[in-house]
Amino acid sequence: MFESLSERLGGVFDRLRGRGALSENDVRAALREVRIALLEADVALPVVRDFVEQVTEAAIGQAVLRSITPGQQVVKIVSDALTAMLGSEAVDLQLDVTPPAVVMMVGLQGSGKTTTTAKIARRLREKGRKKVLMASLDVNRPAAQEQLAVLGVQAEVATLPIVPGQQPVDIARRALSAAKLQGFDVLMLDTAGRLHVDQALMDEMKAVASVSEPDEILLVVDSLTGQDAVNVATSFAGQVSLTGVVLTRMDGDARGGAALSMRAVTGKPIKFVGTGEKLDGLELFQPARVAGRILGMGDVVSLVERAAETIKQEDAEKLADRLAKGKFDLNDLRSQLTQMRKMGGLGALASMLPGIAKVKNAMASNAVDDKILIRMDAIISSMTKAERARPEILSAKRKIRVAKGSGTTVQEVNKILKMHQEMATMMKRMKKMGGLKGLGALFG
Ligand code: GDP
């Protein structure tokens, strides 16, 4: 997400921060570069214009220029303006307390609407502890209703039984009464998509909305379509009262123009972003965190949350216990690798850590990164239990066997052993410095 923009802005800000004093001209020059970076990221022109104007006004004030850290202050001003442009606060679903609350999903075909319906239902079930029913009203696309049923099984969310030939408004009525009768908290209606915004689609949406009286009407758009996504949102917003937008495929969107313009152009909040094909690829959209990611300040909060969700408490405790004793063998390394993969691989981790653009450049593409994790895992798995516990017994002959077993080379085996050794040395040093207190000393 936002890699190219982040890289561009990172360069501009590094130069600003690196200087002691700043003149008005320095700031104006930097902001010209910010303007170009935003335009290249495909942010809508009026949005860029407003943004730069607002930031310029705040940044060339004498208080900023005369301060001890003018560069830092300018970066802070840009960061605040970016957060405001993205919508300031996260806006979660606002569901009626008297069940069933109704969430209606709308959007063009292929935008990711059906997948997102299942992702949100899963999130409501897991995080909100809600009993959710999903119903597909898509009678145009063959197998759309079956697709939702399959996703329902994966998400462990109930779907309305399919009645062949029934029309959208009637399905909506049936879904609503089933939800009431069977005590569901939330009903999610996945409406039919179209290839383009057309009147028949809009009329159908309005009819469904009038029988189901949704708490939320969420528009799903594909972030990769950039300005088109914003235009689609504008035309939908003119026809139905959208309560929010979900931007899908943010995982593949290096530019991020749609995300950056959406709020300002449509006045509708981005509620969620889709970050992968799988059902756990959904995040609540948090403007301040996203601004932090874009400006290369990292999103450590999300990283920690992701870790807490993925890593079992007991595993973490077991590892902490071993580290406290100064132990860190290849078994420990392997479980660390598995956890990294579960957290979305190196690419996902790098994008949340500070200085992302630089790290990313140094590494190859995401796919390759994750292949490295898989190869490392294969190597360690090809060792015997004794070798994993005491890597020093790996003779040249044993290394050849491990390389063959894992389909890698002896050089790669050596690389892992060296990496493990370095990590183990670091852990020992930490232990000497007094455990976790030592960790602070090491980095601080
Ligand atoms: P619909 O026609 O709008 O209902 O679209 P679908 O839900 O069938 O999605 C179309 C394709 O986009 C499917 O292959 C999904 O797996 C994929 N997709 C949906 N959301 C995301 C996302 O956030 N990231 C990625 N990478 N793929 C997605």
Q: Distance, CA 150 to ligand 1 centroid (Å)?
A: 14
Enclosing domain of residue 326: 301-443
User: What's the 413 CA to ligand 1 centre distance in angstroms?
Assistant: 38
Note the pLDDT tens digit of each residue in 109-135: 889 999 999 999 999 999 888 999 999
- pLDDT-derived band at 363, boundaries 50, 70, 90: very low
CATH number, domain at 251?
A: 3.40.50.300
pLDDT tens digits for range 47-96: 999 999 999 988 887 777 777 777 777 888 888 898 899 998 899 999 88
Q: Are residues 19 and 168 in the same domain?
A: no
What DSSP designation does 269 have?
A: P
Residue 92: count of CB within 10 angstroms of its CB: 15
Question: 263 and 184 share a domain?
Answer: yes
Annotated binding-site residue? 110: yes
In this structure, are 142 and 282 located in the same domain? yes
- Position 221 scores a pLDDT of 94
Q: Are residues 78 and 137 in the same domain?
A: no
CA triplet 30, 34, 38: central angle to 5 degrees? Answer: 170
pLDDT value, residue 437 = 42
Tell me the pLDDT band of 9, cut-offs 50, 70 and 90. confident
Share of the chain above pLDDT 70, in %: 84
pLDDT of residue 355: 47
> Is residue 92 one of the residues assigned to a domain?
no
| Average pLDDT estimate for 402-413 | 92
Give one DSSP letter per residue of 113-139, joined into a string.
Answer: HHHHHHHHHHHHHHTS---EEEEE---
Look at residue 307 in the predicted model and tell me its pLDDT.
64
Whether 137 and 8 map to the same domain: the answer is no
What is the per-residue pLDDT for 410? 93
Ligand 1 nearest atom to the CA of residue 110, by list position = 2
Number of domains in the chain: 3
- The answer to whether 102 and 208 are in contact (CB under 8 A) is no
Sort 211 into a burial class: Cβ within 10 Å, 0-12 / 13-18 / 19+: middle
Q: Is 94 a domain residue?
A: no
Q: Is residue 93 included in any domain, yes or no?
A: no
pLDDT tens digits, 295-319: 766 555 565 566 666 666 667 677 7
Strand, helix or coil for residue 159: strand
The answer to whether 23 is a known ligand-binding residue is no
- Chain-centre distance of CA 68, in angstroms? 36
Is any ligand 1 atom within 6 A of the Cβ of residue 277? yes
The answer to whether 147 touches 202, Cβ cutoff 8 Å, is no
- Range scoring the smallest mean pLDDT among 9-13, 59-63, 296-300, 429-433: 296-300
The residue from 23, 54, 86 where one domain ends is: 86
Distance (angstroms) between ligand 1 centre and the Cα of 249 equals: 7
Q: Is residue 31 domain-shared with residue 160, that is, in the same domain?
A: no
| CA 383 to centroid of ligand 1, rounded, Å | 40
Which of 63, 86, 109 terminates a domain? The answer is 86
Residue 335 in marked binding region: no
| pLDDT tens-digit readout, 170-183 | 999 999 999 999 99
Kindly give the number of the ligand 1 atom that is closest to the alpha carbon of 107: 3
Whether 266 and 313 map to the same domain: the answer is: no
Query: Per-residue confidence at 398, pLDDT binned at 50, 70, 90?
Result: very high
**115 & 262 share domain:** yes
Q: What angle do CA 196, 253, 218 make, to 5 degrees?
A: 50
Can you tell me the distance from the alpha carbon of 77 to that of 85, in angstroms, rounded to the nearest whole number? 12
**Nearest Cα to Cα of residue 383 among 323, 342, 334, 319:** 334
Query: Is the bond into 100 cis (omega within 30 degrees of 0)?
Result: yes
- Tell me, yes or no, whether 135 and 224 share the same domain: yes
Task: Answer yes or no: do 286 and 340 share one domain.
Answer: no
Q: Decide if 25 is inside a domain.
A: yes
Q: Is 72 in the pocket of ligand 1 (CB under 6 A)?
A: no
108: annotated binding-site residue?
yes
With the most atoms of ligand 1 within 8 angstroms of its CB, the residue from 201, 248, 273 to mutate is: 248
pLDDT at 403 over 50: yes
Q: Is residue 323 part of a domain?
A: yes
Query: Which of 104, 115, 194 is the best mutation target for the ligand 1 pocket, counting ligand atoms within 8 Å of the beta carbon and taking the most?
Result: 115
Question: 24-38, 158-172, 212-226, 341-355: lowest mean pLDDT where?
Answer: 341-355
| DSSP state letter for 162 | P
Answer yes or no: do 438 and 363 share one domain. yes
Last residue of a domain, one of 280, 297, 314: 297
Residue 253 lies in a domain: yes
Whichever domain contains 431, its CATH number is 1.10.260.30
Work out which ligand 1 atom sits closest to the CA atom of 248.
23
With beta carbons less than 8 A apart as the criterion, state whether 85 and 263 touch: yes
251 lines ligand 1 (CB under 6 A): yes
Q: pLDDT confidence of 441, banded at 50, 70, 90? A: very low
